[in-house]
Structure formats: C-alpha cells, structure tokens
Amino acid sequence: MKELPLVSQWAFQIDKLFHGRPSGIDNSICTHGGALLFRSGQIVEQLPKVDSFPVILVNTRVARNTKAMVEIARQKYNKFQAIVDSIWSAIDAISMRAWQLIQQNKDLDDFATLFDMNQHLLNSLGVGHSAIDKIVDCAKRYGLSAKLTGAGGGGTVIIYNTLKGTLNGHLKPLYIYLMD
C-alpha cells in the first residue's frame, strides 16, 4: 500500500503530541508490522514479517511518566556511572540475543529467560513499579515470563506465553489475582 508511509508519519506526529519525543517504534510496527531493531534512536533493521509471537498485554492501570522515569535512570547513572553502563550493556546484549532469535525463528522459548533478565535489570535502574511487580510475579506463578514496556513506572506489561496451547485455564485465575 502506497499510503502506509503517510499513515506512519501521521501516527508519529500524533505520538509526539502524547509523548513529546517518541522513538518511532510504535508507529512503524503498527503500520508496517513485523519486528525492528532500534539502537541509539535509530531504526537499524526491520523484518517485514515474523511468525506469531504469543504475548498478553496487561494494563497496570498506573499512568506512566516517561520524563520522570528518564530522570530516575539519569540520577542513578550520575551516581553509579560504571555500574549503570554495565546494566545498559547487559540490556543491549539481551536485546541483540532476542533479535537473533526472531531472525532465526528458533529457540523462542529462550525469550522467557530474556524477559526475566531484562525485567530485573530494568528494576535495578529504578524504572519499575509495584503494579508491574505484581503482574510479573503473577505471571511467574503461572509459569509465564513478563516485563515492563516502554519507560516503565506503570503503563503496560508484556507477558510472553511459554505455555503450549490455550491459555483459557490460566487467564481467569490471572485476571482474578490481578483484580484483588
């Protein structure tokens, strides 16, 4: 469709109204689909089509404040630069391993481990929230892995479905637990 670049540009402009300086990831994926590799503020590579990726998105019902999360991470960086640099290097390594798995379309069960490691590292940067932790812990209780999305501090949690087959038997207890 020749209109897709225009749709993406408009979506990016709308995202700017809500987030100030969006990355361009959301509008690109929502418009074109697939997966993309994003580094240092730039889209490096985009796969136009990927096999299904079984996830559940859970709204924490906590409004996130990207600016506040960035400031928290910046303060940690200013105080513990070498340590935070190492954390960012580990997060980068996790992202690159995930990208390799997507490209090769194999060992997708390793995503569960990558989700867990990434979530712990993000918490160490101070961008977690008790509502996120509750969802992550609940997912773990049912054999699933989860992590925060975006800047953290609330917003949405992504749960990677490592269970084969239907989730119907797991979603109701998960829902009930989260509503308490």
- At 28-58, the pLDDT tens digits run 888 888 888 888 778 888 888 887 778 888 9
Q: Look at residues 12, 28, 50 and tell me which one is the last residue of a structural domain.
A: 50
26 is catalytic: yes
CB burial of residue 179 (10 Å; 0-12, 13-18, 19+): exposed
Residue 74 and residue 160 in one domain:
yes
End-to-end CA distance of the chain: 45
3-state secondary structure (DSSP) of residue 180: coil
User: Which pLDDT score, from 0 to 100, does residue 67 have?
Assistant: 84
CA distances in angstroms from 103 to 16, 47, 142, 146, listed in the order given = 30, 8, 28, 21
C-alpha to C-alpha distance for 4 and 17, rounded to whole angstroms: 20
Instruction: Label residue 164 by pLDDT band (50, 70, 90).
Output: low
Summarised one tens digit per residue, pLDDT across range 124-147 is 999 999 999 999 998 998 888 999
User: Which pLDDT score, from 0 to 100, does residue 166 have?
Assistant: 62
Residue of 26, 85, 109, 110 marked active site: 26
C-alpha to C-alpha distance for 21 and 15, rounded to whole angstroms: 8
**Stronger pLDDT, 90 or 110, i.e. the higher one:** 90
Q: Look at residues 29, 50, 71 and tell me which one is the last residue of a structural domain.
A: 50
Angle at 25 between CA 95 and CA 54, to 5 degrees: 60
Q: What is the CATH number of the domain that holds 124?
A: 3.30.70.890
Residue 63 and residue 37 in one domain:
no
Question: What percentage of residues in the chain have a pLDDT greater than 90?
Answer: 44
Give the length of the chain: 180
Q: Domain of 27?
A: 1-50
**Stronger pLDDT, 46 or 115, i.e. the higher one:** 115
Residue 107 and residue 163 in one domain:
yes
Residue 110, pLDDT > 80, answer yes
C-alpha to C-alpha distance for 126 and 109, rounded to whole angstroms: 27
Instruction: Please give the tally of structural domains in the chain.
Output: 2
C-alpha to C-alpha distance for 26 and 20, rounded to whole angstroms: 14
CA dihedral sign, ordered 47, 53, 59, 62: negative
Residue 173, pLDDT > 80, answer no
User: Residue 36 is encoded by which pair of tokens?
Assistant: 């993309």
User: Of 51-60, 67-76, 117-126, 157-166, which gets the smallest average pLDDT?
Assistant: 157-166
Residue 31 and residue 62 in one domain:
no
C-alpha to C-alpha distance for 161 and 53, rounded to whole angstroms: 8
Mean pLDDT of 100-113: 84
Residue 11 and residue 73 in one domain:
no
Residue with tokens 């996120």: 132
Residue 3 and residue 81 in one domain:
no
Residue 26 and residue 76 in one domain:
no
Instruction: Work out the mean pLDDT of the chain and round it to a whole number.
Output: 87
CA distances in angstroms from 83 to 55, 79, 80, 86, listed in the order given = 31, 9, 5, 5
Residue 56 and residue 46 in one domain:
no
Residue 38 and residue 85 in one domain:
no
User: Which pLDDT score, from 0 to 100, does residue 170 have?
Assistant: 66
User: Which pLDDT score, from 0 to 100, does residue 178 have?
Assistant: 67
Residue 44 and residue 56 in one domain:
no
Residue 20 and residue 41 in one domain:
yes
Residue 88 and residue 152 in one domain:
yes
